Amino acid sequence: MKIGRLAKIIDLVGKYDIETQEQLRDYLAQEGFSVTQGTVSHDIKQLNLKKVPFGDDGRQKYTAAKAMAPEELMYERYLRVLREGYVGMDLARNIVVIKTVSGMAMAVAAAVDAMKWPEVAGCIAGDDTIFCALHAVEDAQEVMNRLKEMVFH
């Protein structure tokens, strides 16, 4: 699914020093996305990934546009992913269980993580379910309300 793949690319370039399209394609394959070099090239353009220097030897790596583009642009992309993938949610103490359309959990989890809410410790995603761990039980209802507002507003 394209949205899931795009979210995974953003996640990967944030985690690893990816210098080439081939490296990105290899990381995607490890995550279950079988893509051609042409698809990777198109995704890089669509996400507006840029190459930035790292290290002292002149090497360059891809970085997500979110570091260079207005915050609102990335917020809108994440919001769209949330709205397209969201099915429902439930609460289990300090874990918000988010149900998504099949195949969208990783993209939605990446979107939630990218929001960098202080209450959220992190997300674990399967195919259609996300466990969103919160730092405190007391934050659960606030996080759920915020997610509902984003999805349904």
The pLDDT tens digits of the residues spanning 106-148 come to: 999 998 988 889 999 999 999 999 999 999 999 999 999 999 9
Copy the structure tokens of residue 92. 């289990």
Amino acid 118: pLDDT? 93
Amino acid 133: pLDDT? 96
From 67, 89, 117, the end of a domain falls on: 67
Pick the range with the lowest mean pLDDT from 11-20, 46-55, 99-108: 46-55
Share of the chain above pLDDT 90, in %: 57
* 122 and 135 assigned to the same domain: yes
From 67, 101, 118, the end of a domain falls on: 67
pLDDT of 69 > 50? The answer is no
Amino acid 71: pLDDT? 57
From 46, 67, 88, the end of a domain falls on: 67
Query: Average pLDDT for residues 36-46, to the nearest whole number?
Result: 89
User: Phi/psi class of residue 14: alpha, beta or left (left: φ > 0; alpha: ψ in -120 to 50)?
Assistant: alpha
Q: In terms of C-beta distances under 8 Å and separation of at least 24 residues, what long-range contacts does 143-149 make, across chains too?
A: 143/96, 143/117, 143/119, 144/89, 144/91, 144/96, 146/117, 147/82, 147/86, 147/89, 147/96, 147/98, 147/112, 148/89
Amino acid 11: pLDDT? 87
Domain tally for the chain?
A: 2
The radius of gyration of the chain's CA atoms, rounded to the nearest angstrom, is: 16
pLDDT of 67 > 50? The answer is no
Query: Average pLDDT for residues 101-108, to the nearest whole number?
Result: 93
CATH number at residue 140: 3.30.1360.40
pLDDT of 6 > 50? The answer is yes
> d(Cα 99, Cα 110) in Å, to the nearest integer?
14
* 76 and 17 assigned to the same domain: no
| Range of the structural domain that residue 102 is part of | 71-152
Query: Average pLDDT for residues 29-54, to the nearest whole number?
Result: 89
The pLDDT tens digits of the residues spanning 46-65 come to: 888 888 888 778 889 998 85
Nearest to 102 by CA among 85, 81, 124: 85
Copy the structure tokens of residue 100. 């998504």
* 89 and 113 assigned to the same domain: yes
* Length of the chain (residues): 153
Query: Average pLDDT for residues 7-22, to the nearest whole number?
Result: 91
